[in-house]
Structure 1
Amino acid sequence: MTKETYHPRQHVLTRYKISNTTLYRWIKSGRFPAPARFSSRCIRWSESSLQKWEQSLG
């Protein structure tokens, strides 16, 4: 069984070279996967959801 890796917001912003505003605009429009919420102040994106999104781009 493999363990899922989760990335914080700053990692996502750096990985895709986008701003915080762009990230949340993409999430709201359905263009980018929503994060997993671990608590009211802790959100993370799974590596698998990010890879799946990258593959969908072509």
Structure 2
Amino acid sequence: MTQLYRDPWAKREAWRKSPIFQNKSMFRNLFPGFGWGLGAFTLYVIYDDFIAAKKPSSHH
């Protein structure tokens, strides 16, 4: 038997059900590289405050 109702736009609307477009995936990829940038900034601040501060400055 054939279906009584067949959606002619089903193929064109199938992308909406893809897992790429789910809210969880959208929020996870909202700020790409933020974790790496935060880590690099934290390491820079630690270096600047503790390691670079111990070196005596020659222009004082």
**TM-score, scaled to structure 1:** 0.26
More strand by share: 1
Report the TM-score, using the length of structure 2 for normalisation: 0.25
> Which protein, 1 or 2, shows the higher relative CO under an 8 Å CA cutoff with sep ≥ 6?
1
Larger Rg: 2
Pick the structure with more helix per residue.
2
